[in-house]
């Protein structure tokens, strides 16, 4: 039974800086952000053309230090203690502390992803919306969850407006996807101390088959928690099938794991080069410019040994003669070389998506940030938007920016990507005061904005909706931990026809905050084992309105009259695509 829905109320954050405007010039196909007089003093961003290259080309775009230093230029240096110093247009509304728990006390929940097709559409199956999440037992401390993470799933009825759902989103926890021991079988060294599952993506097919791409991880630690040898992350695939009806969702399969990719040390850093390397978070898709070809983006690090890594003039990216430029020698001596994140690209070699080959990374962030987590593409108006997430704490020495979503735009999956919003890359950040230290999620700083750690692990959905999970809300003397999904927000992409600009839609939901844990499907798959059809959201509503409860009986294989069966199948054929 639905509980009363308490609409999320927006807490108005004091000290929100007005969004800085930027002029954009287009000269011979080159797009360069020009500093607005309202920006703080600092370097100009790097010039990026957005030009597309072949997916296999040996070209990697750079998120440069000159670009990332625009983040401080956007920040209001006069913002007082506990105020937000960043522009409202790129700031997530403040989330209240009285958060509902979507799992009803069963598990911690963080990184989450929906069922999608090759174009990023989100699906329900037989009237059930389905999501996958990293989960851990609530007997663990919230900050201990990472080495115990498993992939779980949730489901809820599709087509219900957020305001009519229970406050926690109306999800039912279905349990773990894998049986114990399945995901550990691919590791040659079985002496691991912990074996865990990290983020990925899920592709659904018309027969109900699901290809679950994820990060399979083995840790080798002693009793004190120190590494005996570097951990072993691998990009992996498991195949299952979904069985859904009005009573719930179950899976079959997912009893075998295929080892797809391991970091190569040529493009992507390995444990031998750096025991703290990143290699995870596969997201698969088809490139509109190359129909029938399937690609994958993932988080990696540039393949340099940790202790001898160096950054170049191109990584710094300053305009000639810029008085605010750093020297390569200064940057390399600062410790910034420990932060050498990149976004990798791979291409499928067969239709089953069981064989892949590495391509050069599409974006590097050398001497900018160590983490480019959960990368994904959104295709809109002929442009390719590359989104990733990063922590404030993983920015390199001399740089600073909020926790949140960072975005880049180009003309193809391999482009000279231009960072969004004044060249900074910031698309959607937590309320943050860059004038004060952030602290840690378990110990936020006294002077920091209460929303500094409020949300992370964002995923951009169709229509610009963005979901994330709650980490910590509050400051040093009054904070709560999350472990459940945040309210969904909406990000307008290509504001005013400018493909380099995004902005939070504060008219969405209540002051910019939509329903808690709201991850709506925009397409719907119906199958009874014999017939299968995929329809749009509007079409699904029309079929259900016409057929009523008989539609559920039909999907469950229960007896329905010949006339009703004919009506349902006619409607599905009419609206299906």
Tens-digit pLDDT profile for residues 286-306? 999 999 999 999 999 999 999
Considering the candidates 44, 67, 76, 111, report the single residue annotated as catalytic: 111
> What pLDDT digit, counting tens, does each position of 507-563 carry?
999 999 999 999 999 999 998 777 788 989 888 888 878 888 888 777 666 788 888
Under the banding of pLDDT at 50, 70 and 90, the label for residue 254 is very high
User: Which pLDDT belongs to residue 13?
Assistant: 35
**If you ran DSSP here, which 8-state letter would residue 38 be given?**
T
* Known active-site residue 370: no
By DSSP bridging, strand 107-116 and strand 128-137 are antiparallel
Going through 302-442 in order, the beta strands assigned E by DSSP cover: 340-348, 356-366, 373-380, 383-390, 404-410, 414-415, 418-419, 426-429, 439-440
- What proportion of the chain, given as a percentage, has pLDDT over 90? 83
In CATH terms, 24-523 corresponds, of 3.40.50.450, 3.40.50.720, 3.40.190.10, 2.115.10.20, to 2.115.10.20
550-561 tens-digit pLDDT: 887 776 667 888
Q: What is the pLDDT of residue 566?
A: 87
Judge contact between 119 and 204, C-beta under 8 A: no
- CATH 2.115.10.20 in the chain, residue ranges: 24-523
Q: What pLDDT was estimated at residue 556?
A: 64
Averaged pLDDT score across all residues of the chain:
92
Mean pLDDT, residues 355-369 taken together: 98
Residue, of 278 and 22, whose pLDDT is higher: 278
Residue range 373-385, pLDDT digits in tens: 999 999 999 999 9
- pLDDT > 70: what percent of the chain? 93
Residue 111 bears catalytic tag = yes
Given the residues 67, 326, 373, 422, select the one marked as catalytic. Answer: 373
- Nearest Cα residue to 522 out of 504, 534, 510: 534
- Other C-beta atoms lying within 10 Å of the C-beta of residue 184: 18
323-327 contact pairs (CB < 8 A, 24+)? 324/41, 324/42, 324/43, 324/69, 325/43, 325/66, 326/65, 326/398
Across the range 128-154, mean pLDDT stands at 96
Phi and psi angles of residue 112, each rounded to the nearest 5 degrees, phi first: -140, 145
Mean pLDDT of 428-449: 97
Give 12's pLDDT tier (boundaries 50, 70, 90). Answer: very low
pLDDT at 35: 43
Query: Could you report the per-residue pLDDT of 320-348, keeping only the tens digit for each?
Result: 999 999 999 999 999 999 999 999 999 99
Q: What is the Cα–Cα distance from 540 to 549, expressed in whole angstroms?
A: 14
Instruction: Write down the pLDDT at residue 366.
Output: 98
């Amino acid at each position: 039974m639905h509980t009363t829905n308490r609409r999320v109320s927006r807490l108005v954050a004091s000290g929100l800086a007005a969004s800085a405007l930027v002029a954009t010039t287009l000269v011979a196909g080159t797009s360069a952000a020009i500093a607005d007089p309202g920006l703080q003093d600092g370097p100009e961003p790097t010039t990026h053309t957005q030009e597309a290259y072949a997916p296999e080309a040996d070209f990697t775009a750079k998120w440069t230090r000159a670009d990332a230093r625009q983040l401080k230029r956007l920040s209001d240096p006069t913002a007082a203690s506990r105020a937000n110093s960043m522009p409202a247009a790129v700031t997530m509304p403040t989330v209240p502390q009285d958060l509902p728990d979507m799992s009803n006390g069963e598990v911690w929940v963080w990184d989450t992803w929906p069922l999608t097709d090759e174009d990023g559409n989100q699906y329900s199956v037989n009237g059930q919306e389905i999501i996958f999440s990293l989960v851990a037992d609530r007997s663990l401390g919230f900050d201990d969850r990472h080495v115990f993470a498993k992939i779980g799933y949730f489901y809820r009825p599709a087509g219900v407006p957020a305001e009519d759902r229970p406050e926690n989103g109306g999800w039912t926890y279905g349990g773990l996807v894998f049986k114990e021991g399945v995901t550990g079988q691919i590791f040659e060294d079985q002496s691991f101390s912990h074996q865990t599952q990290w983020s990925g993506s899920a592709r659904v097919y018309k027969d109900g088959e699901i290809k679950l791409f994820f990060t399979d991880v083995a840790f080798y630690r002693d009793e004190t928690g120190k590494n005996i040898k570097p951990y072993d992350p691998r990009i992996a695939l498991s195949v299952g099938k979904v069985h859904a009806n009005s009573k719930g969702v179950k899976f079959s399969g997912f009893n075998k794991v295929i080892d797809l990719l391991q970091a190569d040390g040529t493009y992507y850093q390995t444990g031998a080069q750096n025991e703290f390397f990143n290699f995870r978070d596969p997201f698969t898709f088809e490139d509109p410019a190359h129909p029938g070809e399937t690609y994958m983006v993932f988080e990696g690090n540039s393949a340099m040994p940790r202790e001898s890594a160096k950054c170049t003039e191109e990584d710094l990216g300053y305009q000639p003669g810029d008085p605010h430029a750093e020297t390569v020698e200064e940057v390399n001596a600062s410790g910034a070389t420990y932060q050498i994140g990149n976004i990798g690209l791979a291409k499928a070699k067969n239709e089953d998506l069981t064989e892949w080959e590495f391509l050069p990374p599409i974006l590097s962030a050398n001497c900018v940030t160590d983490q480019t987590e959960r990368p994904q593409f959104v295709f809109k108006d002929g442009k390719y938007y590359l989104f990733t997430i990063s922590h404030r704490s993983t920015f390199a020495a001399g740089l600073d920016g909020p926790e949140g979503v960072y975005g880049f735009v180009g003309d193809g999956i391999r482009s000279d990507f231009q960072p969004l919003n004044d060249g900074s890359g910031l698309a959607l950040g937590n309320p943050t005061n860059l004038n004060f230290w952030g602290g840690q999620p378990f110990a936020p700083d006294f002077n920091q904005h209460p929303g500094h750690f409020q949300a992370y692990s964002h995923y951009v959905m169709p229509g610009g909706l963005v979901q994330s999970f709650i980490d910590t809300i509050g400051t040093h003397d009054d904070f709560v931990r999350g472990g459940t999904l945040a309210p969904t927000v909406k990000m307008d992409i290509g504001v005013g026809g400018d493909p380099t600009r995004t902005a939070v839609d504060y008219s969405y939901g209540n002051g910019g905050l939509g329903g808690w844990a709201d991850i709506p499907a925009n397409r719907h798959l119906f199958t009874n084992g014999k017939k299968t059809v995929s329809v749009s959201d509007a079409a699904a509503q029309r079929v259900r309105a016409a057929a009523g409860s008989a539609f559920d009986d039909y999907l469950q294989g229960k007896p329905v009259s010949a006339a009703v069966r004919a009506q349902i199948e006619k409607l599905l054929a009419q609206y299906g695509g």
